Structure 1
Amino acid sequence: MNDRLRLYSYWRSSAAYRVRIGLNLKGLPYESYPVHLLRDGGEQHRPEFRTANPQGLVPVLEHGQRMLRQSMAILEYLDEVWPESPLLPATARDRQRVRGLAQLVACDIHPLNNLRVLQYFEREWHVPQPERDEWVRHWIIEGFEAFEAMLVDHPSTGAFCDGDMPTLADCCLIPQVYNARRFGIDVARFPTIVRIEQACLALPAFDAARPEKQPDAPVS
């Protein structure tokens, strides 16, 4: 199989951010192919991108001739094809915990705050910006309260969400913390999450995946 990897990404996409972290943790070089989600109505709606992903969503990981979609499925694919530096623990019990934490973010928090949801609120129901922002904050806070409770005093919580090596759960958590800060949430109320965020961002794999370090990020 041709191991060339190309990631269709957007600098501020949480789902793409997850996959960048996973690729970096695996030490896999990849080409970044930016898809601007706002310019000209959103480049994800162009026919040429819809060929890559009929959903019109990022990320898409091109591996040789294959187009891989959905960030969680992509991350597990990376773990199966390149098992070194695993993103999932060795035991079924621990893998279930990590998947549960990851899905709390990817399935319960993130979809409610996705760009297309917020754009629908604006376009179809004319929901003002302050109310849309409050919607985002509400669901992040509710999710983080549960996430924090699942981490505190749990015997499997270590330097990271599960043990002392980053896992799929950390790949999902860190982009969501970025979003929380972006929407003005005081994350200090979640001390375990903040501690894990600091441990993650101290690693080159997480640091290089930061939105502001991507080639399509606006120049400040």
Structure 2
Amino acid sequence: MAGGGGDGDVAVDEPSKLKLYSYWRSSCSHRVRIALNLKGLCYDYVPVNLAKGEQYSPEFLKLNPLGYVPVLIDGDIIVSDSFAILMYLEEKFVQCPLLPRDLEKRALNYQVANIVSCNIQPFQNLAVLKYIEEKVSPDQKIPWVQYHLRRGFTALEELLKGHAGRYATGDEVYLADLFLAPQIYGAIKRFNIDRTEFPLLLRLYEAYSELPAFQNAMPESQPDSPSSSTS
């Protein structure tokens, strides 16, 4: 789209609007929404109903052959996987950096992000829970998730002890916080983890709840959330 005014104005191409394929309850989508909000980026929200299997439609599989959300569209560029999307946003949009300049602190952020994305979140994926239900027992789904949550949260509490400030790795919001906030939310809201078991994470979670960028990214605030459709 080009914009122009009176005589002598030069038409300037406006930047293409980002498009995010998301599911309201997906913690991976949740962390990307926080990043978009922090960086002040406008985007179109395209809901993908995971409960109805829309992620396996031919149209969506063209965007991400693995059939997972989120997917970010930026013009002709398609990026899937939340970690890849966050790194893409970080490199393209310099405002509100998601990574600190200090290398030790940066490494700590990577560690936290990887613990969540590799050692906690995959065990609560819908496909994994369906497999547990079918191959083991429906009664084992929640205990399965809770075991991996507690194991990961215990490690995070130990890792962040001595490093956390107001937020996970100091007094500024960084990448680690984007991974922690949705994971703690899901642990409390979906998987019945007692928040008092992990005092450091609970303190961080309460700090996140005061930030508009985090508030606006919450699952219940999304257009495809059941609470949104009934309000």
TM over 0.5: yes
Q: How many Å separate the matches in 1 of 2:126 and 2:94?
A: 33
Does 2:38 align with 1:14?
no
1:105–1:172 Cα contact (<8 Å) kept: yes
CA deviation string 1:16-60 (max 9, x = no partner) = 001001111111111100000012xx0000000001111100000
The match for 1:217 among 202, 221, 225 is 225
Q: Note if 1:27 corresponds to 2:40.
A: yes
Question: Which runs of 5 or more residues in structure 2 are unaligned?
Answer: 1-13
Distance 1:3 1:148 in 2: 41
Task: Please identify runs of 4+ aligned residues in structure 1 that moved more than 4 A.
Answer: none
Q: CA deviation at 1:64?
A: 0.9
Task: Report the counterpart of residue 38 of structure 1 in structure 2.
Answer: 51
- For each residue in 1:71-122, what CA deviation from the matched residue of structure 2 results, as whole angstroms up to 9, or x when unmatched? 0111111111111111000122111111101111011111122111111222
CA offset digits 1:131-184 (Å, max 9, x no partner): 1110000000110011011122x1x32100011111110100011111111111
CA contact (8 A) 1:44 1:56 kept: yes
Q: CA RMSD in A?
A: 1.2
Q: Please point out which of 125, 146, 151 is paired with 1:142.
A: 151
C-alpha distance in 1, partners of 2:139/2:165?
37
Q: Secondary structure at the match of 2:226?
A: coil
Distance 1:147 1:161 in 2: 10
Structure 1 SS opposite 2:19:
strand
Name the TM-score, length of structure 1 as normaliser: 0.94
Q: Find the aligned partners of 1:47 and 1:18 in 2 and give their Cα distance.
A: 26
User: In the alignment, residue 207 of structure 1 is paired with which amino acid?
Assistant: Q
Q: Find the partner of 2:75 among 64, 80, 97.
A: 64
1:193 lines up with 2:201 in the alignment: yes
Deviation at 1:128, TM superposition (A): 2.7
Instruction: Name the structure 2 match of 1:174.
Output: 181
Q: Aligned partners of 1:3, 1:99: CA distance in 2, in Å?
A: 30
How far did 1:8 drift? 0.2
- Tell me the CA shift for residue 129 of structure 1: 2.5
Percent identity among equivalent residues?
46
Matched, 1:109 2:120: yes
Q: Is the 8 A contact 2:39 2:96 kept in 1?
A: yes
For the residue of structure 2 that corresponds to 1:38, the secondary structure is helix
SS at match of 1:205: helix
Q: Secondary structure at the match of 2:32?
A: helix
Q: Is the 8 A contact 1:24 1:205 kept in 2?
A: yes
Q: Find the partner of 2:111 among 89, 100, 104.
A: 100
SS of equivalent residue, structure 1 residue 73: helix
Taking the aligned partners of 2:200 and 2:156, their CA distance within structure 1 comes to: 9
2:169 aligned partner: 162
Residues 23 and 224, structure 2, Cα contact 8 Å, conserved in 1: yes
Which structure: larger Rg? Answer: 2
Asked if 1 retains the 8 angstrom alpha-carbon contact of 2:133 and 2:139, the reply is no
Question: Which letter does structure 1 place at the counterpart of 2:184?
Answer: V
| C-alpha distance in 2 between matches for 1:3 and 1:144 | 39
The AA in structure 2 aligned to 1:61 is L
- Runs of 5+ unmatched residues, structure 1: none
- Structure ranking higher on relative contact order (CA contacts 8 Å, 6+ apart): 1
